Amino acid sequence: MRVAVVSDIHANIDAFQAVVNDFEKQADRILNLGDLVGYNASPNECVKLARDIGMHSILGNHDLAACNLAFAENFNIFARNAILWTRKNLTHENIQFLNDLQKNHRLSCGLACHGSPDDTSSYISLPFQARATLKRMRKGIWGQINVCLFGHTHKRKIWRMDVRGKVAPVEIPLDGMIRLNMDELYLLNPGSVGQPRNGDSRSSYFIFDTETNTVSFKLVKYNVASTIKKITEANLPEFLAKRLLDGT
Ligand SMILES: [Fe+2]
Q: For 6-28, what is each residue's pLDDT tens digit?
A: 999 999 999 999 999 999 888 99
- Ligand 1 mean position, distance from CA 161 (Å): 25
AA identity, residue 28: D
Ligand 1 centre to CA of 186 (Å) is: 21
Q: How far apart are CA 209 and CA 224, in angstroms?
A: 29
Distance 164 CA to ligand 1 centre (A): 33
What is the Å distance from ligand 1's center to 54 Cα? 21
The predicted pLDDT at position 25 comes to 83
* Residues whose CB is less than 8 angstroms from the CB of residue 154 and which lie 6 or more positions away in sequence, other chains included: 7, 8, 191, 192, 195, 196, 197, 198
Q: How far apart are CA 183 and CA 146, in angstroms?
A: 8
CA of 88 to the centre of ligand 1 (A): 19
Question: How many A from CA of 10 to the centre of ligand 1?
Answer: 7
Residue 153 Cα to ligand 1 middle (Å): 7
34-57: pLDDT as tens digits: 999 999 999 999 999 999 999 999
Q: Measure 146 CA to ligand 1 centroid, in angstroms.
A: 24
Give me ligand 1 centre to Cα 172, in Å. 21
CA distance 136 to 237: 39
Q: Is it the case that residue 31 has pLDDT exceeding 90?
A: yes
CA of 175 to the centre of ligand 1 (A): 26
Residues in Cβ contact with 88 at an 8 Å cutoff, skipping those fewer than 6 apart:
none
Over 90: is that where the pLDDT of 108 sits? no
- Residue 208 in contact with residue 217, Cβ under 8 Å? no
Cα(61) to ligand 1 centroid in Å equals 7
* pLDDT mean over 109-114: 94
Percent of the chain with pLDDT over 70: 100
DSSP H or E stretch at residue 18: helix 13-23
**pLDDT tens, position by position, 139-171:** 999 999 999 999 999 999 999 999 999 999 999
What is the whole-number distance in angstroms between the Cα of residue 142 and the centre of ligand 1? Answer: 23
According to the model, what pLDDT value does residue 156 have? 98
Cα 154 to averaged position of ligand 1 atoms, centre (Å): 6
Cα radius of gyration rounded to whole Å, the chain: 17
User: In DSSP terms, which residues pair with 179 in a beta bridge?
Assistant: 214
Computed from CA positions of residues 47, 89, 65, 234, in that sequence, does the dihedral angle turn out positive or negative? positive
Q: Distance, CA 108 to ligand 1 centroid (Å)?
A: 25
Dist. CA 167 → ligand 1 center (Å): 25
Going along the chain from its start, the domains and CATH numbers come out as: 2-246 (3.60.21.10)
pLDDT value of position 109: 78
Which residues are within 8 A (CB) of 164 and not within 5 positions of it... i.e. 6 or more apart? none
Please compute, for residue 186, the number of CA atoms within 13 A of its CA located in the half-sphere on the CB side.
Answer: 22
